[in-house]
Each structure stands twice: as structure tokens, then as C-alpha cells.
Structure 1
Amino acid sequence: MEAKILIVFSLIPLASSQHYLCVTCPPQRDPVTWAQWGEWGPCMNTGGYTTQTRVRSCDALSCDAGLSQEARACTISRDPPATVAPPQWAQWGAWGQCSASCGGGIQQRQRTCIMNVCNVCTCQGPSTEQQPCNASPCCSWTAWSPWSECSATCGSGGYRSRTRQCSCYTGCTGPTSEQETCNGPAACPAPPTQCDTCAPIVTPPPCYTCYNPCLTCGYYGKKKRAIASQLRGAGPQMPSNSTSIVRRKRMLGFIPQ
């Protein structure tokens, strides 16, 4: 908005006329508008003085009157800083699995650091530890012993065995002995098909009767004979018509062991 001022002056003092000159005034400025002051800042020690400041902003295009910043004296607090608890270790975890089942291995366990409010501090000491485990020697079998002799002296149907030992009392798996079938060193002789014939009677007495017929031929064939004699020269004489019958067994053929 422009304002005009009318200036009246006379160049020549004439009674009958006057001259007028119009002068244009500069534009009128908007009123100064400042925002609210901000909060006071921290108390700082600058140049030997402790001051704190606050600022404000200009809400108009230009604020010629007034300051955008002001300061005031202040006192720094002498209270000790708050103490922060140091970080701490949590309890140790359980021991892990041993790296070996025997012969000596290693197992370890871990723990966690509980941080404080700064969240950057670390606990003092290791977070893991180890210890030996399963130090007992590993069990193992000795070599098998040589095979024993075959139980059969001839033919088939025998067996032989061998053994081994564990290097420790417990821990070995498997049998301590084993067996297998085997044959004798030679074939067995064929069994007799009939019993031997009766041997002739030898005199003088005792008089042997001839063997009775063989009861069973084969490995276990048996036959009997009787002794019929009158005992002499030892005690009372037996009646002439009495006989002493003695029976004996005779095993014939091959008997396997």
C-alpha cells in the first residue's frame, strides 16, 4: 500500500496561482513476529563463565528488532555422576558331548555376558571353558587263538574252537569264543558185518564153553561164553556134578571216542 504526501509550495509568489508536487512514500513494513523462546540449553563453561542459552526463530520475512538468541548465567551441578553396574556373567551352561567315547576327548561349556545400560561393555574372562573326558582306554579284542584239534578222530561230525580276549573288563562287543565243524584226520574203518568165530577150547581146565552166538553185530556186538570147571586145590572140593558159570562180555568192532 503506497502513501502519498501532498506538498504545496510556491515557486513564484503569484497571487493568482499555486504549484503542487506529489512525493511517493516507501512501503510500510509488516509488524515484527518472533516465535516462542526454546528451552534453556545445558550449562556450559566457556571462557571461565558458566552460561546457558536459548534461541527463537523469526516467523516473518525479517525481524530487525529483537535477538534470536539470549544467554544467562548458571551453576554447574557438582553431584557425582550416577554409577553404572558393571556387566556380569550368567551361570555356566551344561557340559557338551565328549568328542571321543574312549581314549580321551574334550568337552566344553559356555556362559553369556549380561550387558549393562551402556550395552557396549564386555565381561572380563572367557566365555567358554574345556575339560578332558572319557580318559579310559578304548577296549579292543586280541587276535584269535589257533584252532583247537578236531574232536573227531576219524570221519566227520567233529568240532573245533578258538578264543580271544578283551583288552579291558567291559566295553568289547561280540563273542569271546567260536566253534566250527571239522573232519577227523582219516576216514573211519567200516564196522564188522559179523562176529568172530569161536576159538577152540583149551584144556586142561578151566574148561571154557564156546561163545554163544553174537547178539548184535556192528559197533556194539556182544557174545558170551561160560566157564564150567571144578575148582581144585583151594578149600572144599565142589561136587563133581557142579559147575561155576561165569559170563563175560566181549566188545567187538570199532568204538568211536
Structure 2
Amino acid sequence: MTSLPVGGPLGLALLLTLFAVATTVDNIDGAWSPWSSMSTPCSKSCGGGVNLKVRSCTNPSPQGSGKLCLKMDLINRADKEWRSFDCNTQSCWGLVWGNWSNCSAPCGKGVRTRLSMCGTEVCTGSMANKQSEPCNDWNITACPSPCDNMTCPQFGVCKDKSTAKEPIAFCICTMGYEMNPDKTSCIRPPPTTPTPRPIPTLPPEQKVVATVISKSASTLIIIMVSITLGLFVFLRVYTTDRVIQMNMEIALLLAHILLIIPGSVTKVPTACTAVSILVHLFFTACFMFMLLEALHMYSLVAFIVKKDGMFTKLQNILVGWGVAALVILVCMAFQLDNYGGDYHCWLRMDTPLVYGQFMPILIIIILTFALIEAAGAVNYKPLTGMDRTQLVSAKISQRTNLIIMPLVFSHWMVGMLSEYEQNLPLYGTFSILNGVTGVAVFILHSSNNQQVREKLQGCYRSMCKGSAVTR
């Protein structure tokens, strides 16, 4: 056998070649082993838990330049990987409940709850259940009053009505207030709607008599006032005091002319409203001119002026009708719908308009009496150059006004009441007062005027002389 050379360049090359062949190994990628049969304990004993298993990159292990195993996320590589697996998925709820919770309202009525138990744990998912029931921890001796924690609205106070079984408290309103429907505030109660007054009626035969009486009474006063006006026009007496009386008579005359308008006309609502407004205007003006007459009288009797009073004729007319019109306009602004009635066209007494009817007239009457009283209460110092004729007429007017004004007021009041109540005896009283008022206006207005007295006396003498000559 020939021996191999071991020295020299050729032997060295041969040794290197043999070493490279001996150290050359294949490159093998690693692969996962099966998931381990062993695992961590299940997180739940029933109702669906999880446990962990492991696998390793040893089937085979990577060799040479081989790669580690690719994890389940297909991104990272590792030599081991853990994974969770479902375990104990069987239902473990067998109508087992946990303990009841505390009552939601200590010292009162509330609710308590309990949860379903899956084994020793609270169930989750589809097996999670809850039960609720009312509870009552109220103790009337140990618990505080329920009013301690209750806030009532303004004008309200808490009322404790607790019993041994339950706390009871509620807010009540004071000072005339009432609780609103949602129990959140105290409000003023709305005004109560009064029961409508039934319309009074008279039997047909009595109604005919009442109509005849009332219209006859108005006709009587129309005749007497017309005679008075005609007398002064015939005698051409237009002094200041007479102009005041004349306007008072005209207002009274127009008011009663309206009262004899046929019922067929006043059945029209618009016509009835107009009649009611005008009746109010004329009676108010009538009383206003009696006040001006008292003022005229006072200015002469108290020696404030020498003659003709404080106002001129035109001023008296404007003041008398102007104040009356102002009163009516104010009433119309607020109570126009209440003028006129369902069964009469006098001034209505069952509405707020009654204040606009009576208050101004009562004020006028009080002022008139005050002036009459003041004129006769003190001895005033006379003025030089005083018109004695007017002074005498003023003193007579002071007394006549005390008769005429109560008569006018009485027949005005009785007339309204008779229509409002549809009362036959009141109609009869109204008729009598109208006759007395008409006669009183004629006699007293004629007698308290010096010029009329002188002219009537002159006429009387002329008639007497003519009678003597004839004889």
C-alpha cells in the first residue's frame, strides 16, 4: 500500500477538503409539536371557563440555518406558544341565588335585589339573572321624619303622616294657595265661576201690566219735564242757573224717552246695547248737572262771586256733559260687552259694570250734599254789589235740590231693580216715584227762579185785571 503524503502543499489542501466535507450539515426549518395534553386548571368549574395549553417548535427542531416556528398570528416566530381553550362549558345554574342586597331606601320603602349564582360565582352571559322585590326598613321610632329630607315649593309646608308600617309625608300649600296638578308648585286658585243667575220672568198677564206701568210712568215724567222746559222757553228765561237746570231736565227727558222705545226695537242686541249706554249717559249727566247746580248755589250763598256763579253757561254745559261722557267712555273701554241685558236694556246689576254705574253717581251725590251742607253751615261775609235776585234763587235752590236729587236717585234705582228683578210691586213703586219726580221738577224749578216767579205773578195780575174789566 502506498502511503499518502502528509507534508507539503498538496497534503495541506487535502486536509482542508476533508474537514469541509465532515462539517457540512443540511438547513432544516422547525415545526410545531402537538398541543400539550396537559394544561392549566380551568378558570371556571362550570358555565364556560378557559385553560391554557402549550406547544414547542421541536417537530423537528430548526437545524442549520432553519427558521423558528411561525406563531398563530402568522407574523412572529417563537420556540413556544400558549393558547386558551374552552373548558367546563356545561351549565352550572340550578336556580341557585345569591344573598339579597340591602334595601335601596334605608328607613323607608325601597327595592332589594339578588343575582343568580353559577357554582360559587355570579353567572354571566345568558345565565345572568336578577330578582327584585319591595322592601321596607321603616321604623317609626328609630327613623327620622320623612319631612327632614323633603323640600316643598314656595308657600308649601311638609306634613308628616307616617304610620307604624310606612313613612308618609306630603307637601300642602298655605295662605290660600293650591297645589298645581303636577305637585311642583303652589299657585293661586282660579276664581270660581258663579252659578248663572236664572232669568226672572213674569206671567204673561203680569208682564203686560208691568210694561204698561213702566211706560206710563216714563210718559208721565216726560210730560211734566216737557212742560217745565216749555214754560221757561216761553218766558225766555236763560239765566246761568236755569241753563244748568235745563240741561238736567233734558238729560232726564232723554233717558225716559229711551225707556218707552218699543220692545221689538230693543230685542236687537246692537240696539239694546246702544239704549243701555245712552241711559247710563243721560242719568249720569242728570246727576252731574245737579252737582253743578249745587256748586252754582254755593258760589252765591257763600259769597264767592257776586252773580252768575263760578262758570259760564257754556262751561257748565261742557263740564256736565263732558264728565258724564268720560265716565261712560271709561266703562265702555272695560265693560262694553256688559251693556244691555238678555231680557232688558237698563243698566245691568250682575256684572262688574255695576261699579261703573253706581260709584261715579254716588260720588256726585256725596259732593252735592257736601256743597249744600257747606252753603248753609256758616254765616259768610256778604260781598258788596251782590245780585240779590240771584242770591234768593240760590237759597231756594239749596232746598229744592235736597228734594229733587233723592227723588231722581230713588226712581232711577227702583226702575233698575224692577227691570232686573221683573217685580210687579217695584214697577208700581217706579210709576209713583216717576209721577212725584215729574211734579217736583215742575213746581220746584219754576218756583226757585226769581224771574219766573215775577213773570208768573205779572201774568196772574194781568189775568186778574182782564177779569175785572170784563165784569
Q: Which structure: larger Rg?
A: 1
TM-score by length of 2: 0.15
TM-score by length of 1: 0.23
Structure showing the higher helix proportion among its residues: 2
Structure showing the higher strand proportion among its residues: 1
Larger relative CO (CA 8 A, sep 6+): 1 or 2?
Answer: 2
